[in-house]
Amino acid sequence: MKVSFGSLRSTLGKTVLATAALSGFLLLAGAPSAQANDWDDCNRRVAYSNWRYNQAVERFGPYSRDARHWAHERHEAYERQEHLRHQYREHYRDYDRRYYRDYDRR
């Protein structure tokens, strides 16, 4: 009895191709959630730095080294939040311009 290696190669090739296509799809499907995670992380960082700053002021006073450190961290967190907000506005401003430009052509 002869074993046909042609069908085995064909099946193996299809399996490898299907696995590569599925892994590519799963890799690209997770990309849009990155902005939402950035926004959540940014808000979490702002809340944490506010909490640590307030604790440092209560424990050591507003002019202590710890309070100055957490005031600086809080300032950086607010800057990051404003940067993300600006990116969000620019993205949707461009989107609205394209939408209304296409709408005016109708």
| Per-residue pLDDT, 55 | 97
- The distance between the two most distant Cα atoms of the chain, rounded to a whole number of Å, is 89
- Of 29-33, 65-69, 70-74, 75-79, give the lowest mean pLDDT range: 29-33
pLDDT at 101 (0 to 100)? 63
pTM, full prediction = 0.55
- pLDDT attached to residue 13: 77
Count CB neighbours of 20 within 10 A: 10
CB atoms within 10 A of CB 76: 13
Q: How far is CA 18 from CA 7, 12, 15, 29, 42, in A?
A: 16, 10, 5, 16, 38
Paired tokens of 7: 């069908």
